[in-house]
Amino acid sequence: MTNKSRGYSLYIILLVSFIVVAFTVLLFLFVTLGPRVSSLMRQNAVDRIRETVQQSASGFTQYTDSLQSTMQFALSILPDDPEADDSWHEKMGFLKVSMPEISAIAVFDEEGTPFYTTAGQLRGSQMEVNQEDWFLRAREREGIITYFSPPHVQSLFDSQYAYVITLSRGIRYIQEGQQRLGVLMMDIYYTQFSRLVNRVKLGDSGYAFVVGPDDSIITHPRMSQIDLNLFNEDLRPVADTIIGLSDAKKGGRDSVYVIHSLDRTRWRLVGIAFVDEISQLQTSFRRMFVVALISAALLAAGIALVLTRLIMRPLTVLGATMLKVQHGDLNATMREGGFNEIRVISDTFNDMLYQLRELMDQIVQEQEKKRLHELNALQAQINPHFLYNTLDSIIWMEERGKSQESIRMVSALAKLFRISISKGRNEITVREELEHVTNYLIIQKMRFKEKFVYTIDAKEDALPLRTVKLILQPLAENVLNHAIDETLGEQLHLRITAYTEGDDLVFTVGDDGVGIPEEKLATLLTAPSGQSGIGLRNVHERIQLTYGRRYGLHIQSAEDEGTLITIRLPKYTGGKA
């Protein structure tokens, strides 16, 4: 019985469940961890940029500190009254020579008149010097703080132009008994500062620059381009910021501004890094993360597939085996394998099948036994017509005074019965079987006279062998019943032989009658009971039930030539084969 309503396949359900669970877990990880890790990496990258800027600022500050120290040293050289002696001029000159980054050193009185310069004569008038920004700023600070000017061309000195940053500081000196406020000036080559900043690299194209307190650019890697309006540095993101971080768009790219103050100078170092560059690692990580996710998903799918197959395979085999059993193959067995649970089911199923086979075999055997009994009983019965005809013949002989013939017939009949009974045995010797058929033929010969002749040839080695009884007589009876009627007066020759062949005992019953039509011959041993040939079928069935399917009758026949029936039995002399 087949269940036509098919539900979802357990295989698909398991597979989909595994995959869904795996994907859900991975997706959860991706959604929760991905952005967090990504954000941490970006933060880390920004921190690194900030550290780089901080280090650069620190380096820059160290340099300005060293310049401060140089200024301090120059101050220490200066006497209280610079005009009193000029011995300090040599020391100042030595200081300038010993520091190549110094373009010039000069000391001015409060009117801007030089006490001393390392660069020779001034080009302009003293009125112009005291109007210079660096001069005024230095005096404003009253000698406490050193002023760092923006970069400019120093045009004070005759025949000398240098691009410098001027450091200036107020100095107190005594002139005509009064304390006055002059200015110490030291020009440092601009490149000393720009070099410090230009070497800062932030990512692939990030850079740093320095802005002054009024948001003017002090030094920039692209200073020339800025001066020539070929490049514009947007300073809005750094306006009013002394120190900190700022995000802005620069040239259409997201960028991070890191601002760090440079002590003493009031300048600020600004680092610009581009997000797409600093987040390269982040992008790489994101890609790796996606790859890992997809890989894990594919692996999970693969594992789910294999696992599902592993679970499902024994069940599929079990189902197939059950289907075979359903279709009648009771020899099908479930191979052991798979998980313990499946193995238990498999074992139980095999046991059940075994028991079923045993039961079926038992039933078949009982059926066969029963059938054999029936056939044997049937075979043992004497055909009433035969008995009536024989007795009628005996009476007829007695009436005619043929007592010798009648005695012979009665004797043959008695032997026929004796062998038929055989003390209830089902098997007799070949000799007895041949005797039995001989007696039958004697009786029939006396009845049919010259209508047929018969010969019985038996090999000596076949005679003591054993055979189921009463197998030749039905065959001889069948020949006489059919062949004599159909020979149309011609004498029928019946020949019975017995011999051994290999492990087999072979009987043949042949005649030269009209033969059996081909279509009848094909079904003679298989046709249902009730149709002609029942005697042959009974003999055939009895032999097969007794000795197995290998044995039985084999009929060869040709129309108008005759029929040869071969009976094949196992060759043995006692007990069951």
Partner 1 sequence: MKRTVAIALTLLVIVALMVLWGAEPIQRSTVADEKILLLLTNNDTGWFFLQLREGAQAACQNQGALLRTLVISSDSLPAQLGSISADAALVFVSQEEDRAMVQHFLQENAIPYRMILDGDEGTIHMDERGGAMQLARIIPSNHTLVSVYTDEDAAVSERMLGALDYMGDRAPVKVTPGETLPASLHFARACLALDAEATRYIVDAKERGLLPASLLLFGYDTVETRVKDLESGTVYAMLMPEPYTLGYNGALASMTGQMRPSPLGRVITKRTMFLSRNVRLVFPLIQTD
Q: Which residues bind partner 1 (CB under 8 A)?
A: 123, 150-153, 155, 161-163, 190-191, 194, 198, 204, 220-228, 230, 280-281, 284, 287-288, 290-292, 294-295, 298-299, 301-302, 305-306, 309, 313
Give CA–CA dist 41/345, Å, rounded.
55
Q: How far is the CB of 269 from partner 1 (least distance, A)?
A: 17
Q: In this complex, which beta carbon is closest to partner 1, that of residue 38 or of residue 376?
A: 38
Q: In this complex, which beta carbon is closest to partner 1, that of residue 123 or of residue 370?
A: 123
Q: In this complex, which beta carbon is closest to partner 1, that of residue 310 or of residue 382?
A: 310
Q: How far is the CB of 105 from partner 1 (least distance, A)?
A: 20
Bridge partners of 214?
none
Give CA–CA dist 264/273, Å, rounded.
26
Give CA–CA dist 244/237, Å, rounded.
11
| φ, ψ at 250 (rounded to 5°) | -135, 115
Q: In this complex, which beta carbon is closest to partner 1, that of residue 316 or of residue 355?
A: 316
Q: How far is the CB of 95 from partner 1 (least distance, A)?
A: 24
Q: How far is the CB of 304 from partner 1 (least distance, A)?
A: 10
Q: How far is the CB of 572 from partner 1 (least distance, A)?
A: 51
Give CA–CA dist 193/186, Å, rounded.
14
Q: In this complex, which beta carbon is closest to partner 1, that of residue 42 or of residue 418?
A: 42
Q: In this complex, which beta carbon is closest to partner 1, that of residue 113 or of residue 198?
A: 198
Contact 498, 459 (CB under 8 A): yes
Q: In this complex, which beta carbon is closest to partner 1, that of residue 302 or of residue 464?
A: 302
End-to-end CA distance of the chain: 41
Q: In this complex, which beta carbon is closest to partner 1, that of residue 130 or of residue 532?
A: 130
Q: How far is the CB of 287 from partner 1 (least distance, A)?
A: 6
- Long-range contacts formed by 51-56: CB under 8 A, 24+ apart: 52/200, 52/202, 52/271, 53/200, 53/202, 53/208, 53/258, 53/260, 53/269, 53/270, 53/271, 54/260, 56/196, 56/197, 56/200, 56/208, 56/260, 56/269, 56/271
Smallest Cα–Cα separation from 261: which of 68, 57, 65? Answer: 57
Q: How far is the CB of 12 from partner 1 (least distance, A)?
A: 15
Q: Is residue 476 classed exposed, middle or buried when 0-12, 13-18 and 19+ CB atoms within 10 A define those classes?
A: buried
Q: How far is the CB of 136 from partner 1 (least distance, A)?
A: 17
Residues in the chain: 577
